[in-house]
Amino acid sequence: MDISQERWNADAQKVTLACAQCGSRNYTAAKQIRRLGERRMANKFCSTCNKHTIHRETE
């Protein structure tokens, strides 16, 4: 039994990143990204907007 391993798996649940401008759900990412930035958003390329936009984490 390795409790730390179980906790790691729980933290790795996938979330969706959606474009803040058009709402398209373009990316999925592990919840671990929260540790890299507390704002839970990233600058990603949106094929709908055809440019880089802010993508917010959605459920």
Contact residues toward Zn ion (CB under 5 A) are 19, 21-22, 24, 46, 48-49
**What CA–CA distance (Å, rounded) separates 6 from 29?**
19
CB of 37 to Zn ion, least distance (A): 20
Q: Closest CB to Zn ion among 32 and 48?
A: 48
CB of 55 to Zn ion, least distance (A): 8
Q: Closest CB to Zn ion among 21 and 32?
A: 21
How many angstroms separate the Cα of 36 from the Cα of each of 3, 41, 42, 46, 50?
23, 10, 10, 21, 26
